Amino acid sequence: MEPTDRTLPRLLNAAAKAAPESAAAPPLGLETRVLADWRALVTDDESVSPLAFFRRAVLGASLVLFLSAAWSLTRSGGNAIGDEAALLDYNIQTSLTP
């Protein structure tokens, strides 16, 4: 048997015989500081929140929608030339069809 084959079982046996370590609780001040830093970081991170981005995108899109609707309603008064062009286009299309 090679020395490396004996080393692993010896290591595992020694680990099995060792007394388990108990984890010590962190000091109260450390826990308080970590929680305070985490809460402060969460409130400052709103600028990159997807919800805030979506809210701004919806506001921008609705602004563009209302501005374009208002502009099209103000431009609809001089539509007589558009009606004549549509009638002419219709006459051309009907004369070209067999």
Position 24 confidence tier, pLDDT thresholds 50, 70, 90: confident
In a domain, 12, yes or no: no
**Whether residue 1 has pLDDT greater than 60:** no
CA-to-CA distance for 67 and 48, rounded, in angstroms?
A: 28
Both tokens of 81, joined, read 């030339």
In a domain, 61, yes or no: yes
In a domain, 68, yes or no: yes
Summarize the confidence of residues 59-77 as an average pLDDT.
86
The size of the chain, in residues, is 98
State the DSSP code for 18: S
State pLDDT tens for residues 69-97.
Answer: 888 777 665 555 677 888 888 888 888 87
Q: Report the number of distinct structural domains present in the chain.
A: 1
In a domain, 26, yes or no: no
Domain encompassing residue 56 = 52-76
